[in-house]
Amino acid sequence: MRPGKRRAAMLAGLLAASAVAVAQAANPPASAQPSEQADANGCGFGTGGPNAETICWIDMSSFDFTQATTTGQDMEIDLGGGITIEFTLNLAPGDDGLRPVDATPVPTWSGAVIGNHAYLDTPGSPAFYQQTGDATSSGFSLNRFTMDNITVSRNGVTTTSGYSFVMADAESTNGGEGFTYTSSDPLVSLAQITPDGFHEACNQELTGLGTTSVTCRGSEPRGGAGVLVVTTEDPTEVGVELLNRNGIAGSRQGVMFGVMIAMVDVGKTVENRASDSDNFRVQAVDDSDGSVVASAETGSADSAESGPQPILTSVAGNQVVFSETMTGDSGPDVYDRSWTCTRNGTEVDPAEITGDPTSESVELTVNTGDLVECDVTNTGPEPVDPGDGGGGYDGDPAGADGGELPQTGNGWIPIAALTGLALAVIGIVLARRVTRKVW
């Protein structure tokens, strides 16, 4: 390559590198710690529908028909956070016989509410769905499911509170069809979901709410029917009897079981970071035993979030303390602080929060079925713009108070240095060209 071309190439490369460096200094990449929901094994969460974020629908993919109808099938769920649930699944004939069932993904069919209108994208095979009947399996009461010996543990220690079981229609209950739900503890309605154009759920019979046995029966011969979702708090046993239209082989029922607990999520946002070394940690602590339920740390990022994490609560609810700590060159007094909290997507009334929302911690009650999210924003001082005449700079290179020069943002000094370097290189190259021409 000729010397002139080499110098031109060198100049272009230096200018390009300088431009990239200047752009990176002026616009440092933004980053944030991603939030992650606690990993559950043996159940999964759907989207949409009442309490969708706190109901983990049990995955029945491992269902063994033979085992469930003989000795019972032992099953275990790991909800994350050290929380496990164990039970024995039994399937018995109803008064009119036993129809085979399969573990099935949802929706079970196009007219079902669950999977089409609520609890969408629930993973695995959470529904038990009857096979089409025949002449020997077309009675009214054909299947009885029970979950016995329910045991809930946290870090290996058995607990008797802080959870609920949920049961719901996984198909459509039309005329002559129904369910009888049972539990060791009272059953209540969590929701009745009726999409537009659907008949109301249980429009022939809905009895027993508030007791340990609830019956739901439909009346419409065709068309979509809404669903009843029932829940029972801290049970040791739950069950359901599937009721079919008598003598109709095509009458099929489906049911699904879920576990409902509480979830907490803690997050942090940093605005106008005073020093790159400042690092913030936020956490949620169960006040009943001092355990850390959720935590997140910003590092050099401007935000961080723990994601929803499970917690077992008492019947009256648990007090959870949301707090932050900070390390770095700046003191905590440099930042203004503001906490905000939501419960199931709705902002929490300040009267329900203990503590000053501008302090390092706040506290509130968390109950089964709650998703409580608390976020704290730390706002540092506004950056000083050297071009607006502010910041106390009066021409003294050491600054008005003998301190360091004011700095704004994350990079105006590197920008000036890199720009000067590029101009110096241009000057050297041009000077050499001029000298060569003279000689």
Measured from the Cβ of residue 112, the count of other Cβ atoms closer than 10 Å reads: 22
Burial per residue of 146-165, b for 16 or more beta-carbon CB atoms within 10 angstroms, e otherwise:
bbeebebebeeeebeebbbb
Q: Which amino acid is at 109?
A: W
Q: Is CATH 2.60.40 correct for 262-379? A: yes
Please, are residues 51 and 129 in contact by the beta-carbon 8 Å criterion?
no
Please, are residues 262 and 370 in contact by the beta-carbon 8 Å criterion?
yes
Please, are residues 145 and 240 in contact by the beta-carbon 8 Å criterion?
yes
Domain boundaries, the chain: 3-26+386-438, 43-260, 262-379
Find, among 189, 211, 186, 212, the residue nearest to 202 by Cα: 189
Long-range own/partner contacts, residues 10-14 (CB < 8 A, 24 or more apart): 10/429, 11/425, 11/426, 11/429, 14/422, 14/425
Q: Which residue is listed with tokens 């050499």?
A: 432
pLDDT tens, per residue, the chain with 439 residues: 444 444 444 434 433 434 333 333 333 333 444 445 567 899 999 999 999 999 999 999 999 999 999 999 999 999 999 999 999 999 999 888 888 999 999 999 999 999 999 999 999 999 999 987 664 555 678 899 999 999 999 999 999 999 999 999 999 888 888 999 999 999 999 999 999 999 999 999 999 999 999 999 998 777 789 999 999 999 999 999 999 876 666 678 999 999 999 999 999 999 999 999 999 999 999 998 899 999 999 999 999 999 999 999 987 899 999 999 999 999 888 999 999 999 999 999 999 999 999 999 999 999 999 999 999 999 999 887 766 554 443 434 344 444 444 444 444 434 444 445 444 444 444 444 433 443 3
CA 131 to CA 175: how far, in whole Å? 19
Please, are residues 235 and 196 in contact by the beta-carbon 8 Å criterion?
no
DSSP, res 274: S
CA 233 to CA 261: how far, in whole Å? 10
Q: Which residue is listed with tokens 């049970």?
A: 235
Which residues are CB-contacts of 76 (< 8 A; sequence separation ≥ 6)?
42, 84, 85, 86
Please, are residues 60 and 91 in contact by the beta-carbon 8 Å criterion?
no
CA 253 to CA 220: how far, in whole Å? 15
Output the furthest CA–CA distance in the chain (Å, rounded): 113
DSSP, res 195: -
pTM of the complete model = 0.77
